[in-house]
Structure 1
Amino acid sequence: MNRTLSFSDQDLLELLEQQTNEQVEEAPFGLVRMSREGVVVAYGKSESHITGITKEYALGKYYFTQIAPCANNRMIAAKYAQPSLDEELDYILTYICEPVKVRLRLLKSPASRYQYFLVDRKSIA
């Protein structure tokens, strides 16, 4: 697929579902592809840059407890229990890095093979 991914694309979930893990990892914003159970299957380079967590460390781990416990709450992790999810919200990440203001986008649908956690640093001043 030659189309450049954009954080706010209306059809981003469909576009991501068509991408390989390697393509997902090249997204121009932070991106985590998880299994439906929350296990990391692809971890973007931009996400690594934002959080300081390497792809090699993240792969195969449960995202909300082993990688991003700061997102293991009702505001974020609990929303993935919904069958469909496409929500954007402002958030402060506190992974192993200094607190970082970001815009998050949470994506999944009943038809999607994966669920996605997207991070955009550019949209927050």
Structure 2
Amino acid sequence: MSTTSTFSDPNLLDWLEQQTDEQLEEAPFGVVRMNRDGVVIAYGKSESHITGISQEYARGKYYFTQIAPCANNRMVAAKYALPSLDEELDYILTYVCEPIKVRLRLLKSPQSQYQYFLVDRKAFSE
């Protein structure tokens, strides 16, 4: 795997786009790689550990209704309608897990092949 990028790295989208689905498995934060329609292509090990949702179950499902309906709102899911997106926000995941405070990063660009939903458990600002 190429040098791991950090969660808040301004070039993170470029780094993510260069990684294979298998390389994303080793990211030190949760990574959900979705196609442009919101269907899960890759679901990283860290993401699976944070949410309790298996990678096998997540792949091929529409992220915001079948995997994370707790993020299917104007604060998160609606932002993916924008052509470009690079935003960090504090959030509490509540779907199949106990409420977990996390820092989210929402990423996509008109040039990117995929869109990304990233989760860092350690970065929540209290």
- Show structure 1 runs of 5+ residues with no match: none
TM-score normalised by L of structure 2 = 0.97
Q: Give, in whole Å, the separation in 2 of the partners of 1:109 and 1:38.
A: 14
CA RMSD, 1 decimal: 0.8
- Corresponding residue SS for 1:74: coil
Q: Percent identity?
A: 79
Structural mapping, 1:7-26, within 5 Å: 7-26=7-26
Take 1:98 and 1:5, find their aligned partners in 2: how far apart are those partners? Answer: 28
Partner of 2:63: 63
Query: Displacement, 1:47?
Result: 0.3
Runs of 4 or more, structure 1, over 6 Å off, are: none
Q: How does 1:33-52 map to 2 (within 5 A)?
A: 33-52=33-52
Q: Distance in 2 between matches of 1:22 and 1:6?
A: 18
The equivalent of 1:118 in structure 2 is 118
TM norm structure 1? 0.97
Number of residue pairs the alignment of both structures matches? 125
1:36-115, aligned counterparts within 5 Å?
36-115=36-115
Amino acid at match of 1:84: S
Letter of the 1:43 counterpart: Y
Gaps of 5+ in 2: none
